[in-house]
A and B are shown apart, each in its own frame.
Chain A
Amino acid sequence: MSTHVEKDQVSGHETTGHEWDGIKELNTPLPSWWVYVFWATIVWSVGYWVVYPSWPTATSYLTGMFETTNRTQLHETMANVAAERAPYMERLAALDLDEIVNDSELLNFSMAGGKAVFAENCAPCHGTGGSGNPGFPSLQDDDWLWGGTLEAVNETVHVGVRWDANEDTRFNDMPAFGRDEILEREDINDVVQYVLAFTGRETDKAAANRGAGVFADNCASCHGEDAKGVQELGAPNLTDAIWLYGGDAATITETVNNSRGGVMPAWGGRLDEETIKMLTVYVHSLGGGQ
Chain B
Amino acid sequence: MAMPHLQQPDPAHPLPQNDTLPEDDRDQPLYKTRDKVYPKRVSGYFRNLKWFALITLLAIYWIVPWLRWDRGASAPDQAVLIDMDMGRAYFFFIEIWPQEVYYITGLLILAAIGLFLATSLFGRIWCGYGCPQTVWTDLFMLVERHIQGDRNARMRLDKSPWTFEKIWKIGATHLSWLVIAAATGGAFVLYFNDAPKVIADIFTGHASLGVYVTIAFLTFSTYLLAGWAREQVCTYMCPWPRFQSAMLDDESMIVTYEGWRGEPRGPIKRKNLVRGEVPEVGHCIDCYACFNVCPTGIDIRDGLQMECIGCGLCIDACNEMMDKVGFPRDLVRFDSVQNSQLRAHGKATNIRILRPRTIFYSVILVLVASVMAFGLLNRTTLEVNVLRDRNPIFVTLSDGDVRNGYTLKVLNKEQAAKTYILQIEGLDASDFQVIGLTPNQDGTFSLDVAPDRVGSFRVFVAANPETLNSESTPFEFSVTDPEDNVRETYDTVFAGPK
Contacts and interface: CB of A to CB of B under 8 A. Distances in A.
Contacts of B22: 2-6, 17
Interface in B21-62: 21-25, 27-34
B15 A12 contact: yes
Interface stretch (A51-59, A87-95, A127-135, A161-169): A127-135
B398 interface: yes
A135 B25 CA distance: 84
Given A12-B12, A140-B392, A4 B20 contact: yes
A143 B398 CA distance: 6
A236 to B, nearest CB: 10
Interface in B1-29: 12-16, 18-25, 27-29
Residue with the highest number of chain A CB atoms closer than 10 Å, among B14, B29, B400? B29
Contacts of B18: 7
Given A2-B25, A13-B12, A16-B25, A111 B458 contact: yes
A34 B236 contact: yes
A35 interface: yes
Nearest to B403: A287
B398 A7 contact: no
A81 interface: no
B31 A30 contact: yes
Interface in A1-36: 1-7, 9, 11-14, 16-19, 27, 29-35
Interface string A167-189: 00000000000000000000000
Contacts of A16: 25, 28
B484 interface: no
Interface in B203-244: 229, 232, 235-236
Dominant SS at the B interface? loop
Contacts of B19: 6-7, 9
B395 A140 contact: yes
Interface stretch (A213-221, A237-245, A268-276): A237-245
Contacts of B392: 127, 129, 131, 138, 140
Contacts of B395: 131, 138, 140-141, 287
A198 to B, nearest CB: 12
A27 B398 contact: no
8 contacts: A5-B28, A16-B28, A19-B21, A29-B29, A107-B436, A140-B395, A141-B398, A240-B400
6 closest A-B pairs by CB: A4-B22, A240-B398, A2-B27, A17-B25, A29-B32, A32-B31
Given A27-B30, A128-B391, 19 more contacts: A1-B27, A3-B22, A3-B27, A4-B23, A12-B13, A19-B21, A33-B229, A33-B232, A129-B391, A129-B392, A141-B396, A141-B403, A142-B398, A240-B398, A240-B399, A285-B435, A286-B405, A287-B460, A289-B435
Interface of A: 1-7, 9, 11-14, 16-19, 27, 29-35, 101-102, 104, 107-108, 111, 127-129, 131, 138, 140-143, 237, 240-242, 285-287, 289
